[in-house]
Amino acid sequence: MSLANWMRTTNRSRRRFLVDGAALSGSALVLAACGGGNEVVVTQIVTPGQPTDGATSSSAVTTSAPAAPGSTTSAGPQVRIIAEPKFGSTDVGPLTPMTITSFNAKISDLTMTSADGTQIAGTLDASGAAWTLTDRLEYGQTYTFAGTATDTAGTATPITGTIATVNPLATVPVTFVQDEGGTFGVGQPAVIVFDGQVTNKGQAEKQLMLTTDKGAIEGSWGWLQDEDIQGDGILRSQVHWRPKDYWPANTAVSIAANMYGVDYGNGNWGRADVTVNFKIGRKIVTIADVNSFRLRVLDESGNELKNYPVSYGKADNGRETKSGTHIVQGKYPKYSMCNAAFNYCGVEVTWAVRINNNGEFIHENDSTIPYQGKANVSHGCVNMSTANAKDYYDLVVLGDPVEVSGTNSPLTAADYVYDWSYSYDTWKSFSAL
């Protein structure tokens, strides 16, 4: 499989996260702290049923003003400042939602800065009680919070703390098989290849966004087996998106793989956000019934555009052309055929259209012209005359479907691309979500 060389990074869409302060309830472990002026109490919020050993998701500072000597006035409500994740957290993912919530006081000012002094963006809600991170964090950074919450009596409570983001063992890039600006047939799945293995497939799939100029099209992402796609000994994860049926003709497609900050598992994290834009062109479908000895090409309405005499694979010794929906995967004006199992190599053919990564092509072979339209004698490929092969070569584009039928040898997981071999219900089960 030849992978596209083009890939461009893009600024990640800013994300906002809401906080439900009412959900942060439970028992509290209270430690008195020394200091002049107001009494400051550090409160650790504990989720019911969890241990109180510090392994919690939030931290809080609570303060109240002491009564003046001789005063009978009761103390006002205590101020609580809750951070999610809690201050002091390390190995925080760059996409982790971050909120600072104040109870019984309004946040009057709050800044979040990186080690080099860069201020990180956040927003304060209308009530002044919750600050939410709206910027994306970077790997391997320590961020400092500084601010103040002020209650109705004008008493100020400082907001201070730090969090540190994860320093990945490795960051893994992704590649689109579709070229930027390319035009493909209606059977072409969208294919994304990760330059390594993804364990947390659900986390990665959540960050894949596919849109079209025709609105929502029913379809699904599906994770196929990890493969040594490049032949370099590295197993790579791959995820494909295919529609329920073929793509509508003349559809513009955009895909955003927002992978920066995604935890792939085993110390591997996403390296960058990448996008690709391509188009699905006109609809043509090739009908390859091996028992008809013909190759027919139909348009979107089912009208016959072409009808070629051909010879398919001979039905013996594994030479059958595989049944199932193939797609056009490559086009070569000249190609050198080699099949050691049948004792030939270096056989030059012209106008070769690859429909299967296991060696099936539609190509010129003038030596079988006496059999074309009459008998199947090839080693699995579809043989045509030079003139017909050139005509077909000029007609098809990558991703055009080729529906082969009439043999007892089906496409399998060893054949790339075999996405259309599955029913749509089965295909949907390959989604990690």
- The C-alpha atoms of residue 321 and residue 404 are separated, in whole angstroms, by 8
**Residue of 370, 407, 383 whose CA lies nearest to 311:** 383
- The C-alpha atoms of residue 199 and residue 220 are separated, in whole angstroms, by 19
426 in any annotated domain: no
Label residue 60 by pLDDT band (50, 70, 90): low
Cβ–Cβ under 8 Å, residues 321 and 363: no
CATH number of the domain bearing residue 36 = 2.60.40.3780
Distances (CA, A) of 248 to 29, 132, 212, 373: 60, 41, 10, 32
CATH number of the domain bearing residue 370 = 2.40.440.10
If asked whether residues 258 and 292 sit together in one domain, one would say no
What pairs with residue 426 in β-bridges? none
Q: Answer yes or no: is pLDDT of 3 > 80.
A: no
What confidence score (pLDDT) does residue 373 get?
A: 97
Catalytic-role residue among 240, 326, 379, 381: 381
Q: Answer yes or no: is pLDDT of 252 > 80.
A: yes
Tell me the two tokens of residue 354: 């690859």
Q: Answer yes or no: is pLDDT of 73 > 50.
A: no
What confidence score (pLDDT) does residue 14 get?
A: 29
What confidence score (pLDDT) does residue 230 get?
A: 86
What confidence score (pLDDT) does residue 24 get?
A: 32
Q: Answer yes or no: is pLDDT of 170 > 70.
A: yes
Domain extent, residue 89, equals: 21-66+73-164
| Interval 366-396: pLDDT, tens | 999 999 999 999 988 999 999 999 999 999 9
If asked whether residues 288 and 416 sit together in one domain, one would say yes
Q: Answer yes or no: is pLDDT of 197 > 70.
A: yes
Label residue 70 by pLDDT band (50, 70, 90): very low
Q: Which of 118, 136, 164 is a domain's end point?
A: 164
- The C-alpha atoms of residue 153 and residue 68 are separated, in whole angstroms, by 14
What confidence score (pLDDT) does residue 2 get?
A: 42
The whole-model pTM stands at 0.78
Q: Which of 253, 280, 307 is a domain's end point?
A: 280
- The C-alpha atoms of residue 217 and residue 219 are separated, in whole angstroms, by 6
If asked whether residues 291 and 388 sit together in one domain, one would say yes
Q: What is the mean pLDDT of residues 320-347?
A: 86
Label residue 193 by pLDDT band (50, 70, 90): very high
433 in any annotated domain: no
Q: Helix (H, G, I), strand (E, B), or coil: what is residue 391?
A: helix
Question: Is position 34 annotated as part of the catalytic site?
Answer: no
**Mean pLDDT of the residues in the chain:** 84
13 in any annotated domain: no
269 in any annotated domain: yes
Q: Answer yes or no: is pLDDT of 341 > 50.
A: yes
Catalytic-role residue among 240, 326, 363, 379: 363
Question: Is position 381 annotated as part of the catalytic site?
Answer: yes
Label residue 319 by pLDDT band (50, 70, 90): confident
Q: Answer yes or no: is pLDDT of 222 > 50.
A: yes
What confidence score (pLDDT) does residue 103 get?
A: 95
Label residue 359 by pLDDT band (50, 70, 90): confident
If asked whether residues 43 and 152 sit together in one domain, one would say yes
- The C-alpha atoms of residue 420 and residue 423 are separated, in whole angstroms, by 7
CATH number of the domain bearing residue 195 = 2.60.40.3710
432 in any annotated domain: no
Q: What is the arrangement of strands in the sheet containing 324-327, beginning at the earlier edge strand?
A: 304-309, 294-299, 284-289, 401-405, 324-327
Please give the residue that has the higher pLDDT: either 219 or 42: 219
Label residue 340 by pLDDT band (50, 70, 90): low
If asked whether residues 122 and 139 sit together in one domain, one would say yes
Cβ–Cβ under 8 Å, residues 270 and 206: no
Distances (CA, A) of 305 to 71, 75, 226, 340, 352: 97, 87, 39, 36, 20
429 in any annotated domain: no
Label residue 62 by pLDDT band (50, 70, 90): low
Q: Answer yes or no: is pLDDT of 43 > 60.
A: no
Q: Answer yes or no: is pLDDT of 273 > 50.
A: yes
Q: Which of 280, 312, 347 is a domain's end point?
A: 280
Q: What is the mean pLDDT of residues 246-263?
A: 98
Domain count, the chain: 3
Q: Answer yes or no: is pLDDT of 207 > 70.
A: yes
If asked whether residues 85 and 37 sit together in one domain, one would say yes
6 in any annotated domain: no
Tell me the two tokens of residue 293: 């000895």
Q: What is the arrangement of strands in the sheet containing 190-194, beginning at the earlier edge strand?
A: 174-176, 190-194, 236-243, 219-227
If asked whether residues 342 and 236 sit together in one domain, one would say no
414 in any annotated domain: yes
What confidence score (pLDDT) does residue 76 get?
A: 57
Q: Answer yes or no: is pLDDT of 136 > 70.
A: yes
What confidence score (pLDDT) does residue 40 get?
A: 32
Among 24-28, 150-154, 285-289, which is the least confidently predicted range?
24-28
If asked whether residues 267 and 315 sit together in one domain, one would say no
If asked whether residues 50 and 97 sit together in one domain, one would say yes
Q: Answer yes or no: is pLDDT of 17 > 80.
A: no
If asked whether residues 113 and 244 sit together in one domain, one would say no
If asked whether residues 25 and 156 sit together in one domain, one would say yes
Query: Kind and range of the H or E element at 148?
Result: strand 142-150
Q: What is the DSSP string of 263-276?
A: EEETTEEE--EEEE
% the chain with pLDDT above 70: 81
Quick check: bond before 417 cis, omega within 30? Answer: yes
Q: Answer yes or no: is pLDDT of 348 > 80.
A: yes
If asked whether residues 383 and 256 sit together in one domain, one would say no
What confidence score (pLDDT) does residue 345 get?
A: 73
